[in-house]
Amino acid sequence: IKKIGVLTSGGDSPGMNAAIRSVVRTCAFHNIECIGIYRGYQGMIEGDFKEMGPRSVNNIVNKGGTILKSARSVEFRTAEGRKKAYEKLTQAGIDAFVVIGGDGSFTGAEIFNKEYKFPVMGIPGTIDNDIYGTTHTLGYDTALNTVVEVIDKIRDTASSHNRLFFVEVMGRDAGHIALNAGIGAGAEEILIPEEDLGLERLLESLRKSKASGKSSSIVVVSEGDKIGKSVFELKDYVEEHMPEYDVRVSVLGHMQRGGSPSCFDRVLASRLGVKAVESILEGKSNYMVGIINDKIALTPLEQAIKGETEIDLELLRVSDIMTT
Ligand code: ATP
């Protein structure tokens, strides 16, 4: 192996730049050339490559987003598209790549590896923390801190007006962000996809909260929660059943994906990048590099894609106790 490519693919997340930096510098450390592949698999198909030396990644460890840009490529889903990508990679002398992204990006890498026996490594980058084989994905910790900071601010205005706020957070089908940021910010109730608490229980909890003398309430709702109502419908429902509440809604949206990565994400990105490159140099391929019990661990891409992630439901109980 003489030349390793690196790309970011799918949705961006804070810490991707720190991971790019780590891959580039680990290559330099081992006297391997590193090529930045722009715009994910679409840039791979188009040969949008740039050589990257250790100085080309100065001052990005602290930056959100990805300097390599990200994209979703429909063409890469086709055999012809992947053939073009293979030709571009071989023309450029690239003999392995590291892809930073989510399970879609890993699926693309896995298929490509099967078709062309091309060495690939994955680094999990998504704020949702929904990837099997790692307890933390890149960007998740930063997103948690962002959400907690914002809910703290919402709490200030909520308590000044005795209001109830529904705050919708990201996470797709996983409730990690909602559950952890909810506990961190002292939410009165947390609605996650993994557990349907039901509307009756929500009203019950709000009544209890009111009766206990709380001046404001915050309900954190994961975007994929199974209660079957949007945050706006929840607002209407609660106002109908509890007219004493003045309800507001805040959908946090894409701000959760931005911002400077937390120290945790920077360190994680550095560790994952080193392991990804060194694993390729040891002849390994088709793995995702993750972290389990604070140890860097390799999981076959196939497992990382198919494996079900779990959420610690004990946290719901902790949240309940905290809102006593
Ligand atoms: P996010 O967490 O934001 O969804 P992701 O990596 O899962 O990140 P996707 O859009 O699902 O994002 O996948 C990124 C890219 O990976 C796709 O645009 C496509 O180019 C490639 N890809 C996904 N699935 C496949 C597949 N089945 N075959 C080939 N390529 C794929």
Alpha-carbon span 164 to 180, nearest angstrom? 20
Model confidence pLDDT, tens digit, residues 77-98: 999 999 999 999 999 999 999 9
Q: Report d(CA 64, CA 20) in Å as an integer.
A: 12
| CA neighbours closer than 13 Å in the CB half-sphere of residue 22 | 25
DSSP 225: -
Residue 233's pLDDT is: 94
**Residue 34 forms beta bridges with which residues?**
4
Whether pLDDT at 184 is above 90 = yes
Q: Which residues of 121-133 are buried (b: 16+ CB within 10 A; e: fewer)?
A: bbbbbbbbbbbbb
CA 226 vs. chain centroid, Å, equals: 20
Residue 186 marked ligand-binding = yes
List 48, 128, 130, 141, catalytic entry: 128
Query: In this structure, are residues 60 and 20 in contact, taking their beta carbons and an 8 Å threshold?
Result: yes
What distance in angstroms lies between residue 303's CA and the mean position of ligand 1's atoms? Answer: 16
Which residues have CB under 6 Å of ligand 1?
9-11, 41, 72-73, 76-77, 101-105, 107-108, 111, 126
103 CA: nearest ligand 1 atom? 7
Tell me the C-alpha distance between 158 and 161, whole Å: 5
How many CB atoms lie under 10 A from the CB of residue 298? 18
Q: For residue 1, what pLDDT band results from cuts at 50, 70 and 90?
A: very high
Residue closest via CA to ligand 1's atom 2 equals: 102
216 is in an annotated binding site: yes
Q: Which atom of ligand 1 is nearest to the CA of 112?
A: 29
Euclidean distance between CA atoms 226 and 230, whole angstroms:
10
Distance 55 CA to ligand 1 centre (A): 30
| pLDDT for residue 216 | 84
The answer to pTM > 0.90 is yes
The ipTM of this complex is 0.97
| Residue 128: active-site member | yes
Give the model confidence (pLDDT) of 201-256 as tens digits. Answer: 899 999 888 888 887 899 999 998 888 889 999 999 999 999 888 999 999 999 99
pLDDT tier at 303, thresholds 50, 70, 90: very high
Beta bridge partners of 217: 164
Return the top range by mean pLDDT from 190-199, 229-238, 255-264.
255-264
Distance (Å, whole) CA 281 – CA 6:
14
Q: What are the CB-based long-range contacts (under 8 Å, 24+) for 209-216?
A: 209/323, 210/242, 210/244, 210/245, 214/188, 215/159, 215/162, 216/155, 216/158, 216/159, 216/161, 216/162, 216/163, 216/164, 216/165
Residue to mutate, 69, 70, 76, ligand 1, most ligand atoms under 8 Å from C-beta:
76
Atom 18 of ligand 1, residue of closest alpha carbon: 72
Does the annotation flag 303 for ligand binding? Answer: no
Average pLDDT, the chain: 95
Residue 9 to residue 106: CA distance in whole angstroms: 9
**Across 65-79, average pLDDT:** 96
Which residue's CA is the nearest one to ligand 1's atom 11? Answer: 104
Q: What separation in Å is there between the alpha carbon of 107 and the centre of ligand 1?
A: 7
Q: Any known ligand binding at 55? A: no
For residue 313, give both structure tokens.
Answer: 């439901």
pLDDT value for 85: 98
